[in-house]
Amino acid sequence: MVSPASVSNVQKREQAKVMEKRGQKRIRFSAMDSLLPAQGKAILISGCDSGFGLGFAKHLTDKGCEVFAGCLMKDKNGEGSEELLSLKKPNLHVIQLDVTSSEQTSKSMKEIEGILNAKKLNLWGVVNNAGIGTYGEVEWIPINVYEKIASVNIWGMIRLTQACLPHLRRSKGRVVNVSSMLGRMGYPMRSPYCITKFAVEAFSDCLRYEMKPWGVHVAAMEPGNYIAGTNIFTPESVDAAAGVMWNNMSEAVRKDYGKEYFDSRVKKMHSYITGGVPDFRPVLNALDDALFSKNPRPRYLPANLYYTLRVLAATHLPESIYERFYKDIQ
């Protein structure tokens, strides 16, 4: 025989489950209600040849946006641009775009403006996704490699943003700059990438303050470790970078570090290729919020719990405590 107390407890648990479900529904509907409709909004994305950019272009096309997918290799029939063209979607426009070239950026914008005018649309958002990276210790990396990475990750971002701002001010639209968790914390062997992503963070803050009176929102997106999902590094690219570094080192630097240590660092970089999270749906969710939320955030950190906590620790803890917890930076 079941006691009245037991029945009461069962009822309470069932009521709690119902209330929890109702609460979840309220939260879910509230989130949906706070998003602007994506259908028909014109979005320009740079760096759509692969990785995040390729995924962003497909995702926003499926949501009904008018997508302008900027691809560096379109004129050379690059794999990413060909994949996008093969979709044959009327709301997906694959554009040749090299953000390091002022001439090509201007030409691409004229092409985009022509399509926008024909469809009577305004540009709603730009997603500055184009980015490159490498690895190696500071003494190993030629200065021209630092300059090349900055030309894409910093100057290319600024160049494209400047070209888009007149349109975005009229539409009161969005700027989304793809940074990285490495824009919030330094990491050995990644200095060229880290310094450019720190620059993305600073640029995003400055631009956000300047654009606020115009009703344009600026967000920095700081993805965690998605190397496995983006193929930003391949075995071939890691080996190619190693060859450039070793061949350009002075004899003194080679002697001081030694080939054994150098090879161990290259081997470690190879181990990162398949690391991280292969599924970058959290990044897509963050993109949706940055572009369509009525109350978007200044920063998004789509990362798993480990990297979320690590970024927060690097940002807020004293260095002595942070370095005690995370030995891999030593």
The predicted pLDDT at position 231 comes to: 75
- Tokens 């997906």: give the residue: 92
- Burial (CB < 10 A; 0-12, 13-18, 19+), residue 230, is buried
The predicted pLDDT at position 58 comes to: 99
Residue 173 falls inside a structural domain: yes
What's the total number of domains in the chain? 1
Q: Give the pLDDT of the chain (330 residues) as one tens digit per residue.
A: 444 444 344 444 444 343 334 333 333 333 555 999 999 999 999 999 999 999 999 999 999 999 999 999 999 999 999 999 999 999 999 999 999 999 999 999 999 999 999 999 999 999 999 999 999 999 999 999 999 999 999 999 999 999 999 999 999 999 999 999 999 999 999 999 999 999 999 999 999 999 999 999 999 999 999 987 787 888 999 999 999 999 999 999 999 999 999 999 999 999 888 777 888 999 999 999 999 999 999 999 999 999 999 999 999 999 999 999 898 876
**Nearest-angstrom CA–CA distance, 307 and 309:** 5
Does an H or E element contain 67, and which?
Answer: strand 66-71
pLDDT tens for each residue of 245-279: 999 999 999 999 999 999 999 999 998 887 778 88
The predicted pLDDT at position 23 comes to: 38
Residue 29 falls inside a structural domain: no
187 annotated active-site: no
**Nearest-angstrom CA–CA distance, 180 and 198:** 9
Residue 57 falls inside a structural domain: yes
Write down the pTM of the prediction: 0.88
The residue segments making up the domain with residue 90 are 38-231+278-329
Residue 12 falls inside a structural domain: no
212 touches 170 (CB < 8 A): no
61 touches 91 (CB < 8 A): yes
- Give the alpha-carbon dihedral of 305, 311, 315, 318, to 10 degrees: 80
**Nearest-angstrom CA–CA distance, 41 and 32:** 17
Residue 244 falls inside a structural domain: no
164 touches 176 (CB < 8 A): no
**Structural tokens at position 109:** 């914008």
**Nearest-angstrom CA–CA distance, 4 and 9:** 9
Helix (H, G, I), strand (E, B) or coil at 180: coil
Residue 33 falls inside a structural domain: no
Q: Which among 135, 146, 187, 193 is annotated as catalytic?
A: 193
In CATH, what number is assigned to the domain containing residue 91? 3.40.50.720
The predicted pLDDT at position 24 comes to: 36
Greatest CA separation for the chain: 87
Q: For helices 235-248 and 259-272, what crossing angle results, to 10°?
A: 160
**Structural tokens at position 114:** 């022509």
Residue 101 falls inside a structural domain: yes
Residue 188 falls inside a structural domain: yes
Q: Which ranges in the chain belong to alpha helices (H)?
A: 4-33, 51-62, 79-86, 102-119, 143-150, 157-171, 191-211, 227-230, 235-248, 251-257, 259-272, 281-292, 305-316, 319-325
The predicted pLDDT at position 33 comes to: 56
